[in-house]
Copies of this chain bind each other. A is one copy, B any other.
Amino acid sequence: MPEPESTPTTPVVWAVVVAAGSGRRFGGAKQYAPLAGRRVLDWSVDAARSVADGVVVVVAPGDAETAEAAGDAVVPGGATRSESVRAGLSAVPADADVVVIHDGARPLASHALFRSVVDAVLAGADAAVPVVEVIDTVTDPHGVPVDRDSLRAVQTPQGFRASVLRRVHAGTPEATDDSSLVVAGGGRLRPVQGERWNLKITEPDDLVVAEALMEQR
């Protein structure tokens, strides 16, 4: 007699949106700047929510009230980006299968991009990251060019097998990018096509650009 077919369980996906920066370069907390009638952070959270069962927003200590409406949970960040990611991860339920890390200052990442990093993890990757080619010539500080074809610019959202992300963060490492921790730990990294205009809001002019691109859509 054949075995009863196992019921396929729907994978549980959570997102951690990191918005704990002080916006030193921007001249204020850029994640709360107005953009197309809402705040930068709201757009970033909404895109994350389109693939996630829940969203944890990590904010600077003291900003919890400001960010309240944005996520299912709002937690204070740490002194570094990696500490902030760990603070967010600790609020992700234990049954999550996939965790997506996203930068709160990237309001233009599309639903399709979120979908593709989640799908890549469900298909077997330990980490899936959007990459784009580098368009400008890049040099070292002495003006000697670096072969562009050997470089990739890495964006967020980045998708992770939850168990792998928790494991690489257990050692409290520091990195500007979580996927590099997975690579360093020997995990399977799957690049997916990023989006040229998945802009990281950095300077006030960037809001002009983001607004124009949103109107275009």
Interface on A for B, CB 8 Å cutoff? 127, 129, 131-132, 134-146, 148, 150-155, 175-177, 179-180, 182-184, 189, 191, 196-197, 200, 202-203, 205, 208-209, 211-213, 216
In the bound complex, CA of A152 to CA of B145 (Å): 9
Q: Check B176 against A135 for contact (C-beta < 8 Å).
A: no
- B residues near A145, Cβ cutoff 8 Å: 154, 175-177, 180
- B residues near A134, Cβ cutoff 8 Å: 138, 153
- Could you list 20 further interchain pairs (A-B, Cβ under 8 angstroms) beyond the known A139-B177, A140-B152, A205-B213? A129-B143, A136-B154, A136-B155, A137-B177, A138-B138, A138-B154, A139-B151, A139-B152, A139-B179, A141-B152, A142-B183, A143-B180, A144-B180, A144-B184, A145-B175, A146-B146, A148-B176, A205-B216, A209-B212, A209-B213
- B residues near A143, Cβ cutoff 8 Å: 127, 129, 154, 179-180, 182-183, 189, 191
Q: Check B208 against A213 for contact (C-beta < 8 Å).
A: yes
In the bound complex, CA of A127 to CA of B205 (Å): 29
- B residues near A189, Cβ cutoff 8 Å: 142-143
Q: Check A197 against B212 for contact (C-beta < 8 Å).
A: no
Q: Check B153 against A200 for contact (C-beta < 8 Å).
A: no
Q: Check A144 against B200 for contact (C-beta < 8 Å).
A: no
| Residue of B with least CB distance to A178 | B137
Q: Check A197 against B205 for contact (C-beta < 8 Å).
A: yes
- B residues near A191, Cβ cutoff 8 Å: 143
In the bound complex, CA of A139 to CA of B146 (Å): 12
Closest Cβ of chain B to A32, distance in Å, is: 20
| Residue of B with least CB distance to A183 | B143
Closest Cβ of chain B to A2, distance in Å, is: 42
Q: Given A139-B151, A212-B212, are A144 and B183 also a contact pair (CB < 8 Å)?
A: yes
